[in-house]
Amino acid sequence: MKVNENILISSLTTMRLGGPARYVIEVEQPSDVPDAYGFARQYQLPTFILGYGANTLGHDEGFNGVIIINRMRGITEIDPSTINIMGGEYWDNVVDYACKRNLTGIEAMSKIPGLAGAAPVQNIGAYGQDISDTLVSIEAYDSATDTFVTLSRDDLQFSYRKSILNTTAKNRYFVISITLSLHEGTMPRPFYTSMEKYIADHDLTDFSPQGIRNIVSTIRAEKLPDPLEKASSGSFFHNIYLNEQDAEIAAEKGYPVRHGNDGHKINAAWLIEQCGFKGKLLHGIRVSDKSALVLINESATSYNDLAKARGEITGKVYDKFGFWLEQEPVEIQ
């Protein structure tokens, strides 16, 4: 394992904010993981698990602890439709691997920035697919018992963008690898509205896993900035999920409530747009003119700048609609 000292969190996260972390440890094989936690215990320091850094925010004061980064990569075919992926593998490489083998189940999650090990943590998803739909199990290091364990899909208690890994057991487990069960075939229609529109506009007929990957990749490129080119943490706010009664009330008010297998929801981007924030610059943070869910760091130099921008957006949305927007990125603290 590699131990680094006093590394700026801004250099590790795609929003490019945050002061120095006391230690950053890169683990390159499973045996490094207990050693990294042992290092933290030796110095009585807290730990934080960091992946690609695309869904993570740093604070100005930094982190007086140990950030552990997964550098373990590799994809192994268990059988023609089941694959095991090391936690440090880039997620989009996993999607590419599956599509090239004509396997469906994750193609709509193309171009989501991040590592495979982070996928089950927040139950990533896009355009009707979630990692919980295909995940069989994870191999993980349990820092509470100092043992390697296997956790099944049911053990992880998935819900919308949540699992025990970011709620009740937050920071307890370090994901070594994940196992996915995919299958041959195609995504069921109808697709999400934006996908159907793109298909109709371009008269497309290829709905194979690779065809859907191509469609999603193009749509995402048009809406979401590449975090390596523009400082951003991706979608910054969760969509609003409603129970049936509240969904009926919202629909009566003219709000665009979407009804799907995952429940009734209002797109947070629509709420932000209706408040006039799309394209606006707030304290150095730009609300994207392509998708109001995305906040871009154009000139902000501190977490405080971001907090002010976030506060203005959430406050106005609440005043106008009565909904509190929930931040998606996690914070190193």
Give catalytic residues, as residue numbers. 161, 235, 328
Strands 63-70 and 20-27, sheet pairing: parallel
**DSSP state string for 213-226:** HHHHHHHHHHHS--
Residue 14, Cβ density class (10 Å: 0-12 exposed, 13-18 middle, ≥19 buried): buried
The amino acid present at 321, given as its one-letter code, is F
Q: Can you tell me the distance from the alpha carbon of 123 to that of 156, in angstroms, rounded to the nearest whole number?
A: 10
Is the C-alpha dihedral spanning 110, 228, 74, 33 positive or negative? negative
For residue 325, what are the contacts with CB-CB under 8 A and spacing of at least 6?
Answer: 237, 238, 240, 268, 271, 272, 313, 314, 317, 318
CA distances from 223 to 110, 216, 231 (A): 14, 11, 15
Q: Can you tell me the distance from the alpha carbon of 44 to that of 42, in angstroms, rounded to the nearest whole number?
A: 6
CA distances from 171 to 163, 184, 278 (A): 12, 35, 34
Q: Could you identify the residue written with the tokens 């009330």? A: 249
CA distances from 313 to 161, 277, 294 (A): 21, 7, 12
Q: Per-residue b/e over 107-140, b at no fewer than 16 CB within 10 Å?
A: bbbbbbbbbbbbbbbbbbbbbbbbbbbbbebbbb
Closest CA relative to residue 47, chosen from 61, 36, 32, 60: 36
Q: Can you tell me the distance from the alpha carbon of 124 to that of 112, in angstroms, rounded to the nearest whole number?
A: 8
